[in-house]
Amino acid sequence: MRKAGEFGQLKFFQGQSGFVIGNPDQWRLNKKLSGGGAMMDIGIYSINGARYMLGEEPIWVTAQETKTDPVKFKEGIDETIQFQMGFPSGAVASCLSTYAMRHLDRFFMTGDDGWMEMKPSTGYGPIKGRTHKGELMQPHSTHQTLQMDGMAQIIFEGIEPIVPVDGEEGLKDLRIIDAIFLAAKTGKKVMLQ
């Protein structure tokens, strides 16, 4: 629908990604094993959602970190980060990544001519969507199965992937996450290259 221009000029994306983390001894709260906290685990989905749904790469980020439990969320493990991204078209994204709030699995996007929402947006399913035209009716599939089948088709049948699977997408996400961490630490807008 975005590629067909059905939302008009895109203006805003909101991504909410989070859950309440359980066992304080799990790998997600160990910097050496996880590489960080909520941002590396669940916040990346809001970054992906914004990039894919807006169809552009962000050019700047700002961010703010909140930590209510410094014992559970040690140095280098983020609990909650709110972050904003700006895009070349002028569209902006406002996102939340957290290990401290329940029921956060939602994407929303609006443009001059319409809007769309996915809630839940990234869970194991079923994912539900609706737009200014009504509910989106897609069959429920286990997305990991589709992903593995799709990867096999790329390898064995030479099918061209919709999203590249050469590691470049992951590298783009990690550069954005690094900029978000820097923005949260410094309180400044960080420009992306």
What's the pLDDT tens digit per position in 25-52? 999 999 999 999 999 999 999 999 999 9
Q: Mean per-residue pLDDT for 64-93?
A: 97
What pLDDT shows up at residue 59? 98
What pLDDT shows up at residue 123? 79
Q: Where are the domains of the chain?
A: 10-191
* Residue located via tokens 């799709």: 150
Look up the CATH superfamily of 10-191.
Dihydrodipicolinate Reductase; domain 2 (3.30.360.10)
What count of residues does the chain have? 193
Whether residue 145 is predicted with pLDDT greater than 90 in this model: the reply is no
Task: List the one residue out of 9, 4, 6, 2 whose CA is nearest residue 49.
Answer: 2
Whether residue 166 is predicted with pLDDT greater than 90 in this model: the reply is no
Q: 100 Cβ partners below 8 Å, 6+ apart?
A: 18, 20, 21, 68, 69, 79, 80
Q: Mean per-residue pLDDT for 76-96?
A: 98
User: End-to-end distance of the chain based on CA atoms, in angstroms?
Assistant: 28
Cβ-based neighbour number of residue 105 at 10 Å: 19
Cβ-based neighbour number of residue 9 at 10 Å: 11
